[in-house]
Structure 1
Amino acid sequence: MKKILFGIIALIILIGGSGFAWYKVTYGGGTYYVQITKDGKEKQETANGKKFSRFTYNIDSYQKDGKEKKVEFTAGHNLRKEAYLKLTVNSVKGVTSWEEVKKAEVPKEALKKLNNNS
C-alpha cells in the first residue's frame, strides 16, 4: 500500500512540476520597466463584427540592473503619459503582461536609465 501511495505522490509531483515548467517557459520571463512618454500608435481592428482600437508601443525597457531591451506591446486604451509599467518579457513571445507601478517600485538603476531618456 505504501508503494502505491508513494507512486501516486511521485506521479502528482512529476505532472505538477511539468505543468509549472511549461507555464514558466510559455508565460514567464524577465522583468523590465518602462515609462510612457508618448501616445501609442492607434490601429483599428475588428473582431466578431465589432470595431475597436489597439494602441501599440515600441519603447526601450530596462531591467533592475539597467540592462536595456527594445520591446513592443499593445494596450486596449491609450496609456497614461508619465506612467511607469512593469513588463514581463518572454524570450519567445515578447511582452506577455504589463502592469502600472508606482515610481517608488521601479528599481534605482532602471529608474536612472528611464530618467536619462525622458
Structure 2
Amino acid sequence: MKKIGAVIILLVVAAVVVLMTVDFNRFGKDNVYVEVAEPTEVEEDRLDNGEIMERYRYQQTAFDEQGEAVEVEFTAGKELRRGAYLMLYVKNENEVTSYDEVEWEEITADAQTELEEAR
C-alpha cells in the first residue's frame, strides 16, 4: 500500500510540474510569420488609479510555412519594433494566441519569399 501511495504522490507532483511549465497559448498551435508594420490602432484604457494602459492592435497579412496568406489580428502591450519578424501562434486558422520574435533565418523559405513580395 505504501508503494501505491508513493506512486500516486509522484504522479500528482509530475502532473503539477507539467501544468506549470506548459504554455497552452503555444502548445499545439500552427505557426504563421509576419513582418511587423505600423499599428493599425492604439487603444487606451484608464485604470481606477488613473494610470493609462495602451494596447497596440495590428491587422496584417501573415504567411504560413507553405507561403499561404492568412489575415491576422493581434495585440501587444507595447509598440512592436517595425521590421521585426514574428512567428505567430494561431488556432482556428487566424486566431493569434501568442507570438515570438524570430530571425529571418528561422522562417521557412516559402514564407520568406512571400514576405519579400509583400514589402
Give the alignment's TM-score, normalised by structure 2.
Answer: 0.72
Where structure 2 has 5 or more consecutive residues not aligned to the other structure, the ranges are none
Residue 117 of structure 1: aligned partner: 118
Tell me which amino acid in the other structure corresponds to 1:72: E
Tell me which amino acid in the other structure corresponds to 1:30: D
The change in CA–CA distance for 1:83 and 1:93 in structure 2 (over 3 A counts) is closer
Instruction: Specify which structure has the higher proportion of helix.
Output: 1
Indicate the SS of the match to 1:112: helix
Whole-Å Cα distance in 2 between the matches of residues 84 and 45 of structure 1?
Answer: 28
Tell me which amino acid in the other structure corresponds to 2:36: I
Task: Tell me how many residue pairs correspond in the alignment.
Answer: 112
1:32-43 equivalence runs, <5 A: 32-43=32-43
Residue 85 of structure 2: aligned partner: 84
Whole-Å Cα distance in 2 between the matches of residues 41 and 63 of structure 1?
Answer: 24
- After TM superposition, give the deviation of residue 56 of structure 1 in Å: 0.2
% identity of equivalent residues: 30
Which portions of structure 1, spanning 4 or more consecutive aligned residues, are displaced by more than 3 angstroms? Answer: none
Tell me which amino acid in the other structure corresponds to 1:99: D
Whole-Å Cα distance in 1 between the matches of residues 109 and 34 of structure 2?
Answer: 13
Q: Does the 8 A contact of 1:37 with 1:82 survive in 2?
A: yes
Tell me which amino acid in the other structure corresponds to 1:65: Q
Whole-Å Cα distance in 2 between the matches of residues 36 and 73 of structure 1?
Answer: 11
Indicate the SS of the match to 2:80: coil
Give the alignment's TM-score, normalised by structure 1.
Answer: 0.73
Residue 96 of structure 2: aligned partner: 95
Residue 46 of structure 2: aligned partner: 46
The change in CA–CA distance for 1:30 and 1:82 in structure 2 (over 3 A counts) is same
Whole-Å Cα distance in 1 between the matches of residues 106 and 74 of structure 2?
Answer: 21
Pairwise CA RMSD: 3.0
Where structure 1 has 5 or more consecutive residues not aligned to the other structure, the ranges are none
Tell me which amino acid in the other structure corresponds to 1:56: R
Tell me which amino acid in the other structure corresponds to 1:41: E
Q: Does the 8 A contact of 1:40 with 1:78 survive in 2?
A: no
